[in-house]
Amino acid sequence: MTYFTHVNSFCKEFNYPAEACCFLTESMKKIEGNKESFSIFDEQVMLYESGSTFSHPEALKAAIKTAEIAGVHSYTAQLLIYICFAKHTRVLYAKQGISDEIYIMSMSDLKWKLMECYNVYSIWGTFVAFWFDRFFDLTRFALGRLQFETVPFQNDYTNGNNTVKAGDTVINIHIPSCGPLQKEDCQKSYDKASEFYKKHFIGKKTIFQCNSWLLYPKHREFLPQNSNILSFMDDFDIYSYNDDPDNSDAWRIFGSADAKKPLELPQKTSIQKAYAAWFAKGGTMGIGKGIFFK
């Protein structure tokens, strides 16, 4: 199977927009059609499949070089190389006894990042390819609505009878941009993660943490009371937060719109309306850190 054929098949399996599927397959054809760009691209796929001297940063450098030679956008080439890695990733999942359902949920993150890139830059690709590494190293997984990985806790924490020491293993939560953040869906994901990572918490409670703009405590000052974000925040003890005067996560809400011009921001959704009004009053975004025990 050529990379062109694989990309086309992958896009269809994961239900990419028709325009994106066509663009990505044509871009892959350009890379394959140039001997030099194909050689660089192919070498990285072979290294990933061999598992010996593979390096994610080096793979992304190679993708950027490939893009320059073949005349495609670097964001497109960086997504394409991970789509091509995904064929072998499926093999790795099977070898470790991880279900194809989890593989499909995890690889769906490429689609969520594709859509973010298009919404922000009008380019079919990804501007955060560095984020994919742990999915392809099989150390981060999508389990239902949410994504998880084990990490060492960075602080000492005590709340009643619940204590965590710096260095203790906890489950880190990520929230992909794939639709509403419903309470029931989150609870199902927590249950799936508790089962998936149970070997790390034998004889004790499962510990979850999250570090996200979604956990910004000041959301309670301006988001609607029925907001799914507020419901998600209720799951956590938010033990610290920082304001973000640069509103660096505003693209997640408004796409390519300029958050420095609050009166010109799109207001199609309840969160856009709430944040636009908050910015107009001089408010900013922020990042909160939260934890809970299950």
- Count the domains in the chain: 2
Give mean pLDDT in consecutive 10-residue pieces for the chain, a chain of 294 residues: 90 97 96 95 94 91 97 98 97 96 98 96 96 96 98 92 92 95 96 96 94 97 95 96 94 90 90 94 96 94
> Of 148, 130, 152, whose CA–CA distance to 139 is shortest?
148
Q: Which of 117, 136, 155 is the last residue of a domain?
A: 136
pLDDT of residue 53: 86
Domain residues for the domain of 285 are: 141-293
**Do 24 and 87 fall into the same domain?**
yes
Q: What CATH code is carried by the domain that includes residue 178?
A: 3.40.630.120
Quick: pLDDT tens for 244-271: 999 999 999 999 888 888 888 999 999 9
Indicate if 169 and 230 belong to the same structural domain: yes
Q: Which two tokens stand for residue 14?
A: 């994961």
184 and 65 within one domain? no
pLDDT value at position 51?
Answer: 80
- pLDDT at residue 257, as a whole number: 87
What pLDDT sits at residue 1? 63
pTM of the model: 0.93
Tokens coding 166: 């710096």
